[in-house]
C-alpha cells in the first residue's frame, strides 16, 4: 500500500500544473499548519533529515511548499547516474536539474518565492513542488503553508492575517486532508491558533494530529505530561511531542542527526514512559502510516471520480475533431472549415460536425 503515496503525489503535481480542481477531486494530503515561530520548519527539516528551508524573521514560508519524500535506497550504478553520493532533490519548475547541495535547495526556494511575491514579505497561492530522494526518509508528502500571523510587515497588505487564514482554510477544508497542527509547548495549549483553525473544519478532530514543539523550552519546574496524555485537550489522531533545533544549534551548524539524538536523550530523561511514542522519528513513521490508511479509505471514491473525469475530458477532446496529420495544410483547412461553418450558421443549416471545426479553430 505504501506505493500508493507516490501515485497520489503524482496526481498532486498534475493538478498543480494544469490548475487546481479541488472541487472535483479531493486528494488525501497532509497539511502543516502553525503560527509564526511555532517550530514548523524545524519539524519538517527533522522529518526530511536536511537543513533546507528558508529562515529569518517574519514570514519565511510565503508560498505553499509541496514536499514529496521518496525512500530511495540506491545502488552504486544509480549513484553514478545521479552523480550523487547522498540524498538529492528536484523542483517541478526546473525539470531535469538535480540538487545535491541542500543549501542550494534553500536558495532556490527563496528565489522562486521572490519571483512571484517580491522580496518584501508578500505571499502567493502558487505552489512550489519539491521532491527529496533519500534512503533515510519515509515515503511521505507534506504541504507547508505560511505561518499564522497578526501584523503585516514589509509590503504585505493590511489584511494579511485574513489572506493567510483563507489560504490555510482552502487546504484544510478538503475533507481528505490530514491536518498537522504545530503548537509550541511553552505557550498555552488551549489558545493554539493551529488547533483553533483545525477545529473550524474538523470539529470532531477525526483528521487532526497535533505536534507539540519546544518541549525543552518550558518554564523550569513544569512539563507537558498532561498535554501529551490528552488530559487538557483531546486530539483523536494523537499529540506527539518533539524538541526543535535551537538557534544555537543552527549557528553551530550542528547536524540534524545529532539533534535527533539529543531529542531522544531528552525524552528518555524527561518523559521516560512516553519517550517511545514521541519525537521526530516517531512522528515521521506515524504520518506515513496515517497517510497510507487515509489513502486506502478514500481510494474507491477517488478512483471512481478520476475515471469519470477521464471520460468527460475524452468526450470533450473527441468533440474538437480529428487529430492534425498534415501540419502544412492545417491553417488553410481550419480557415475553410471555419468559413463553411460560419456560412452554415447564417443560413441555418449548421450541423454538429461543422460546429466542431469552430471549436478546433
Using one digit for the tens of pLDDT, what is the confidence trace for 247-261? 888 888 899 999 999
Does residue 318 belong to any structural domain of this protein?
no
Do both 293 and 333 map to the same domain? no
- Residue 263: name the closest of 194, 225, 217, 209 by CA: 217
Rg of the chain on CA atoms, in Å: 25
Last residue of a domain, one of 310, 332, 351: 310
Do both 332 and 264 map to the same domain? no
Do both 336 and 203 map to the same domain? no
Selected residue with higher pLDDT from 79 and 223 = 223
- Residue 145: name the closest of 167, 129, 112 by CA: 167
pLDDT band at residue 335 under the 50/70/90 scheme: confident
Count CA atoms within 13 Å of residue 316 on its CB side: 6
The number of domains in the chain is: 2
pLDDT band at residue 106 under the 50/70/90 scheme: very high
Do both 189 and 247 map to the same domain? yes
Vertex 117: Cα angle to 113 and 120 (nearest 5): 100
Do both 348 and 267 map to the same domain? no
Do both 329 and 210 map to the same domain? no
Does residue 316 belong to any structural domain of this protein?
no
Long-range contacts at 300-304 (CB < 8 A, ≥ 24 apart): 302/25, 302/27, 302/28
Percent of the chain with pLDDT over 70: 83
Question: Which residues are paired to 209 by β-bridges?
Answer: 180
Query: How far apart are the C-alpha atoms of 263 and 289, rounded to whole Å?
Result: 22
Do both 347 and 243 map to the same domain? no
In which domain, by residue range, is 282 found? 4-310
Do both 34 and 59 map to the same domain? yes
- Residue 215 DSSP one-character state: G
For the stretch 50-72, pLDDT in tens is 999 988 766 678 899 999 999 98
Do both 233 and 344 map to the same domain? no
Amino acid at each position: 500500500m505504501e506505493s500508493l503515496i507516490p501515485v497520489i503525489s503524482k496526481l498532486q503535481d498534475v493538478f498543480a500544473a494544469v490548475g487546481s480542481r479541488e472541487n472535483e477531486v479531493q486528494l488525501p494530503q497532509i497539511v502543516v499548519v502553525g503560527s509564526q515561530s511555532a517550530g514548523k520548519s524545524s519539524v519538517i527539516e527533522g522529518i526530511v533529515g536536511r537543513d533546507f528551508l528558508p529562515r529569518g524573521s517574519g514570514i519565511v514560508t510565503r508560498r505553499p511548499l509541496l514536499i514529496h519524500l521518496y525512500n530511495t535506497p540506491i545502488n552504486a550504478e544509480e549513484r553514478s547516474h545521479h552523480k550523487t553520493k547522498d540524498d538529492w532533490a528536484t523542483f517541478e519548475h526546473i525539470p531535469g536539474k538535480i540538487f545535491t547541495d541542500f543549501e542550494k535547495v534553500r536558495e532556490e526556494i527563496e528565489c522562486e518565492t521572490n519571483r512571484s511575491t517580491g522580496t518584501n514579505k508578500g505571499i502567493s497561492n502558487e505552489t512550489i513542488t519539491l521532491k527529496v530522494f533519500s534512503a533515510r526518509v519515509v515515503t511521505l508528502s507534506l504541504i507547508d503553508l505560511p505561518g499564522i500571523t497578526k501584523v503585516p510587515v514589509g509590503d504585505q497588505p493590511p489584511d494579511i492575517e485574513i489572506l493567510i487564514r483563507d489560504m490555510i482554510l482552502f487546504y484544510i477544508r478538503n475533507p481528505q486532508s490530514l491536518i498537522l497542527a504545530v503548537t509550541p509547548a511553552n505557550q498555552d495549549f488551549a489558545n493554539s491558533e493551529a488547533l483553533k483553525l483545525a477545529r473550524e473544519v474538523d470539529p470532531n478532530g477525526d483528521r487532526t494530529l497535533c505536534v507539540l514543539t519546544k518541549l525543552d523550552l518550558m518554564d523550569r519546574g513544569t512539563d507537558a505530561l498532561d498535554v501529551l496524555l490528552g488530559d487538557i485537550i483531546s486530539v483523536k489522531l494523537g499529540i506527539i511531542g518533539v524538541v526543535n533545533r535551537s538557534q544555537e544549534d543552527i549557528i553551530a551548524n550542528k547536524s540534524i542527526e545529532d539533534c535527533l539524538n539529543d531529542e531522544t536523550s531528552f525524552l528518555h530523561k524527561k518523559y521516560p514512559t512516553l519517550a517511545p511514542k514521541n519525537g521526530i522519528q516517531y512522528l515521521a513513521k506515524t504520518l506515513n502510516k496515517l497517510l497510507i490508511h487515509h489513502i486506502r479509505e478514500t481510494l474507491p471514491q477517488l478512483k471512481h471520480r478520476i475515471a469519470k473525469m477521464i471520460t468527460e475530458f475524452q468526450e470533450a477532446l473527441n468533440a474538437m475533431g480529428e487529430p492534425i496529420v498534415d501540419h502544412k495544410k492545417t491553417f488553410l483547412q481550419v480557415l475553410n472549415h471555419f468559413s463553411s461553418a460560419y456560412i452554415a450558421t447564417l443560413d441555418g443549416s449548421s450541423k454538429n460536425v461543422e460546429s466542431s471545426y469552430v471549436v478546433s479553430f
